[in-house]
Amino acid sequence: MIVIVGGGIAGLSLALTCHQIGAPFRVLEAARAIEPLGVGINLQPNAVRELFDLGLEQDLAAIGVETREYGLFSKRGRAIWTEPRGRFAGYRWPQYSVHRGALQMLLYRTLLERAGSASVETGWRATGFENVPGGAVVHLQAPDGATRSVLGSVVIGADGIHSALRAQMEPDEGPPIWAGAILWRGTTRARPFRTGASMVLIGHATQRLVAYPISPPDSDGLATINWIAELTSDPGAGWRREDWNRTADLADFLPRFADWRFGWIDAPELIQGAAKVYEYPMVDRDPIARWTHGAVSLIGDAAHATYPVGSNGASQAIVDARKLGSHLLAHRIGPAALAAYEQEMRPLTSKIILTNRGSGPDAVLQQVEDRCGGAFEAIEDVIPKEDLARHAVRYKRVAGFGIEELNARPPIIAAGARL
Ligand SMILES: Cc1cc2nc3c(=O)[nH]c(=O)nc-3n(C[C@H](O)[C@H](O)[C@H](O)COP(=O)(O)OP(=O)(O)OC[C@H]3O[C@@H](n4cnc5c(N)ncnc54)[C@H](O)[C@@H]3O)c2cc1C
């Protein structure tokens, strides 16, 4: 049996993959119930392809918005770079903007329908693991203090950025790394901008607004717009431990965005229109030298938590799950599959972590800020279009969704493949 620790996007994607290929599995989740938490995330075409291969094409269309355009804008609202996305860019699969909670519930519901309710046990927090002959044991604790251990042929830590299994593998690592940026996130009913399904990044390295719709417009023309306001201050000043669901105070950041009204988008109105705003320090973790210890390995944020700047945290979690599935098919359930999975994925995801720290997809925003403070008539006067195009292509390749490469690549798991 494959024991999956954590029922987030990575763990549930792996569980659905195991069910698809005929591998026995069980998910053990710390939360008492799986609930639709979070706000918007983006699923890049490489991850959408995998969800389609899991038979979720119709369901995704029902919960997401097919992203048409991605754009970088200066703090004065001037367009620096815009490009089509997903099928509009020539991919064979769309890019989707979705509510994280809606995606998690879709995966959860589908898993229960396909594999039965016994496939997921909630209310069990992993506290550690042990390699034993024939596999590994994960130690668990319930909210009432009860403990138990579960044996698997392999144990997979899909337990997110605060992974207990990773903490045992890397005892000296400590908390995630904070470089001084705080994100405030919310959703607001508002008129969608530009194409009606555009994802926009406005500002520069120390002050940014990201916005995109995660629902189609209603009969009044209003959609749910997901937005993230970001400010960077002195990391030495310290911040409270990150918690995806901490409620925020608008006075901490709204004044800085007060004049970000550009006709096509109105940042203060968007921010003030949210029923609830959450704050979150932007953190990541250093790449580590090893994810696999015998019959135990890591996927998703447990393996490679990165800044959420390239919208690939959830996408990468899904791809990890599928890659691990393909190695289980090739090597059967055991340490050899885990070692092969790590060998393929660790170098790739380490590169994404480091790229997102330095020259992520929006690095050009700061270049424009440095050169002209965001004010220009024609962007060619500030930065050549070819440089912008080259940067955009390079990031997609690093993150595994280069258009030609993805379209030409065979499926990660062939249709009908079974253990
Ligand atoms: C509540 C929540 C809200 C989020 N909101 C956003 C958002 O708004 N925007 C965004 O970009 N990203 C968000 N994320 C992060 C995003 O989901 C991940 O970056 C990405 O999807 C990778 O998924 P993952 O499954 O590796 O990690 P996660 O989605 O973090 O899932 C990890 C799962 O493991 C469980 N878990 C943790 N510790 C243990 C343990 N010791 N034993 C058993 N189970 C454990 C957690 O409860 C969770 O269900 C959120 C994550 C969470 C948990």
Ligand 1 proximity of 48 Cβ (cutoff 6 Å): no
- Separation CA 31–CA 119 (nearest Å): 15
Residue nearest to atom 21 of ligand 1 (CA): 314
Residue 387: helix, strand or coil by DSSP? helix
- pLDDT for 253-266, tens place per residue? 999 999 999 999 99
Q: What's the mean pLDDT in 342-354?
A: 93
Cα distance from N-terminal residue to C-terminal residue, the chain: 13
Given a contact cutoff of 8 angstroms between Cβ atoms, the answer to whether 135 and 295 are in contact is yes
Ligand 1 proximity of 39 Cβ (cutoff 6 Å): yes
Among 156, 115, 166, 176, smallest CA distance to 29 is for 156
The phi-psi region of residue 203 (left if phi > 0; otherwise alpha if psi is between -120 and 50; otherwise beta) is left
Ligand 1 proximity of 31 Cβ (cutoff 6 Å): yes
Given a contact cutoff of 8 angstroms between Cβ atoms, the answer to whether 328 and 153 are in contact is no
Ligand 1 proximity of 183 Cβ (cutoff 6 Å): no
- Separation CA 1–CA 18 (nearest Å): 10
Helix (H) or strand (E) holding 63: helix 57-63
Give the CB-side neighbour count of residue 63, counting CA atoms within 13 A: 22
Give the CB-side neighbour count of residue 118, counting CA atoms within 13 A: 2
Residue 45 CA, ligand 1 centroid: distance in Å: 21
pLDDT at 280: 84
- pLDDT for 27-76, tens place per residue? 999 999 998 888 899 999 999 999 999 999 999 999 999 999 999 999 99
Residue 396 CA, ligand 1 centroid: distance in Å: 24
Q: What secondary structure letter does DSSP report for 410?
A: P
Give the predicted TM-score (pTM) of the model: 0.94
What string of DSSP letters covers 242-273?
A: P-TTEE--GGGTGGGGTT-B-SS-BHHHHHHT
Phi, psi of 122 (to 5 degrees): -95, 165
Residue 232 CA, ligand 1 centroid: distance in Å: 23
- pLDDT for 201-251, tens place per residue? 999 989 999 999 999 999 999 999 999 999 987 766 666 656 666 678 899
Residue 308 Cα: closest atom of ligand 1: 11
Query: Angle at the Cα of 17 (from 130 to 287), degrees rounded to 5?
Result: 55
pLDDT at 242: 61
Among 64, 368, 352, smallest CA distance to 208 is for 368
